[in-house]
Structure 1
Amino acid sequence: MNHTQLKAWQEAIELSKELYLITAKFPAEERYGITSQIRRSAVSVPANIAEGSARGSKKEMLRFLFIAMGSLAELETLLLIAANIGYLSDFEHLNKKLARERSLIIGLQHAIKQKISEA
């Protein structure tokens, strides 16, 4: 399956776009600090889903999904920090999106593990 057809990839792209818009409003002095870190971890999620999908191997796809999950955890931490220092007003809204993305990736991981065990 092409990565663009995966719901996890599609929603991660939308989340990345939303976070770019939100972080554009962060203070200028954070451009190379938390703003950059949030953006990098956000784009890492769909990028790793895409790369894993393109590898052509179920085991490789699974490996890249684990990397995407790591990026998602990093993103959650950065957003919580941004909220705690007053840069982010609606953490709960974003946290729900992160939970949804986590659920989609876990679902993909389970499906791939099932296919690997059946082979």
Structure 2
Amino acid sequence: MRQRRPRTEASERRRSPRVSERVPLAITDGGAPIQAETVNLSAAGAYCTLDRFLAPMTKLQLDYELPDPPGGGVGGGRRVRIRCAGVVVRSEPVIVSPDKGRYHVAIFFTDLSERNRSVLSRFVRQRLSRPSTS
């Protein structure tokens, strides 16, 4: 009988490719919304920058918009609103200046509808297939 290998970060990355894309998002952890911006995005989660610490395992609600990719179903250059639940899996301080702290926070999507996961997957694939401008 073959044993399953544990999932690693690399295998998760292959299952859910990430694209470096800055997308504004609103995060709610039970209090007032926190404005953040993604550093990268996948169908499994987001890595973002925000101005406060969020402890690992903090449950969140996320709200953001993506352009509907060609063939995405909405069409006409419209935007698709994504609302989902997530959990903080990592939070790291980033030194911007002595008086202004920032944090890189990795969020795993725990409740993302199949429709929204499909929109997000198409968005990532479209961005990854664009020719490089560098």
TM-score by length of 1: 0.26
Structure (1 or 2) with the greater helix fraction: 1
| Higher RCO, Cα 8 Å, sep 6+ | 1
Q: Identify, as 1 or 2, the structure richer in strand.
A: 2
**Bigger radius of gyration:** 2
